[in-house]
Structure 1
Amino acid sequence: MKNIKSIKAIKFLALLFVSSIAFVGCSSDDDHGDDHDHEEELITTVRYTLTNGTDVVILEFQDLDGEGGAEGTFDVSGPLTANTTYSGVIQLLNETESPADNITLEVEDEGDDHEFFYTPTISDITVSKDDLDEDGNPVGILTTLVTGGAGTGSLTIELIHEPTKPNDGTSINAGGSTDVEVTFSIEVQ
């Protein structure tokens, strides 16, 4: 009985690890008829910066050797302040290049083929997307994050390639493929 519980625990931990970190670059996209280069991009760093005056909180995931090597690291610079509105900006980098390649610029340029989704587990947090693609649909590079009361939980950030647009604002029914997905532990004080 002990072996079965151990095997189940190992399977659960492996599933949790894979679901919390998924790195896939943008796939080939031939339905545009333009000459954009759509080769896969390596995303080594996800940095979400939240600012309210001098209150700055940075959520960063970094995996410099990419998928399959050493585990990546998560860093949250501090707690969020309760009942506060933050301006947010997300940045995706490939830091295996020198200087680092800013993948966010490609996402912005191809906004109609991308959308970020922000899913908090703390019910008093809302995230709205403040930038739009050429068709008037949200992209999510620029956001407004509003906190309510104190609490702890997580914030999952996903970048979906070729989502259905418009959609219901969640990644569950957006379709497309996941370019990156990270989950941060967060605290509101």
Structure 2
Amino acid sequence: MKNFKLIGITLLTLIVFSSCSDDHSHDHGANEEELITTVVTTLTSGNQTITLTSKDLDGNGPNPPVVTPSVDLTPNTTYTGSVTFLNESVSPAIDLTKEIKEEGEEHQLFFQAAPSIGSFTYTDTDAKGRPIGLAFTLRTAASPTTGTITVVLKHEPNKSASGVAGGSMTNAGGATDASVTYNVVLK
């Protein structure tokens, strides 16, 4: 019984201290990290629109993210893509995409997929002409296959490092703000 009380007090203390942070939501000079609970990746080609979603409403809590199950993509097709980032832990939800775009010099998305799935091209840039990745194209490969697409949002990557502007995370550095993996089928 003593152990349960000790655990309860410890948990209560952790909750109180973690919830007692300064609120800088109205301080535009502060650039603290926002909570990203939801990542929506949209792919469009002709009349086909595919929406891939990952929701992790409890953040680093015990529940795993809910990710769109496997989706079908058409081989040898160019999709126009976009990524949206939301904080749905509050009501109404906060769309963080505009902030990421405005702070484009401090953010870059990276898309990872095997060549057998396809290749990505950035179609948006920051004020210095370097890629952001909120808008992109995906050119799917010609042969039917299965695999994954991973979308990673980096904060303060080294955009001038070798390969980073072309979409390689190898030399990017920075902190990972969000990382989502979607299962896809080319058929």
Letter of the 2:172 counterpart: A
> What percentage of aligned pairs have identical amino acids?
41
Question: Among residues 151, 157, 164, which one is paired with 2:151 in the alignment?
Answer: 157
Letter of the 1:73 counterpart: V
SS of the aligned residue for 1:112 comes to helix
Q: Residue 116 of structure 1 aligns with which residue?
A: 109
Residue 137 of structure 1: CA displacement?
A: 0.3
Letter of the 1:138 counterpart: P
Structure 2: unaligned runs, 5 residues or longer: 1-27
Residue 148 of structure 1: CA displacement?
A: 1.7
Moved more, 148-157 or 69-78: 69-78
Q: Residue 147 of structure 1 aligns with which residue?
A: 140
Looking at structure 1, the residues matched to 69 and 44 of structure 2 have their Cα atoms a distance apart, in angstroms, of 13
Residue 58 of structure 1: CA displacement?
A: 1.3
Looking at structure 1, the residues matched to 50 and 135 of structure 2 have their Cα atoms a distance apart, in angstroms, of 15
Looking at structure 2, the residues matched to 53 and 40 of structure 1 have their Cα atoms a distance apart, in angstroms, of 36
Q: Runs ≥4 in structure 1, deviation > 3 angstroms? A: none
Looking at structure 2, the residues matched to 95 and 109 of structure 1 have their Cα atoms a distance apart, in angstroms, of 20
SS of the aligned residue for 2:97 comes to helix
Q: Give me the TM-score of the superposition, normalised by structure 2.
A: 0.79
Structure 2 vs 1, CA of residues 138 and 92 (structure 1 numbering), >3 Å: closer, same or farther?
same
SS of the aligned residue for 1:64 comes to coil
Residue 177 of structure 1: CA displacement?
A: 1.0
Letter of the 2:111 counterpart: Y
Find the structure with the greater CA-based Rg. 2
Verify the 8 A CA contact 2:116 2:145 in the aligned structure 1: no
Structure 1: unaligned runs, 5 residues or longer: 1-34
Residue 36 of structure 1: CA displacement?
A: 3.6
Q: Give me the TM-score of the superposition, normalised by structure 1.
A: 0.78
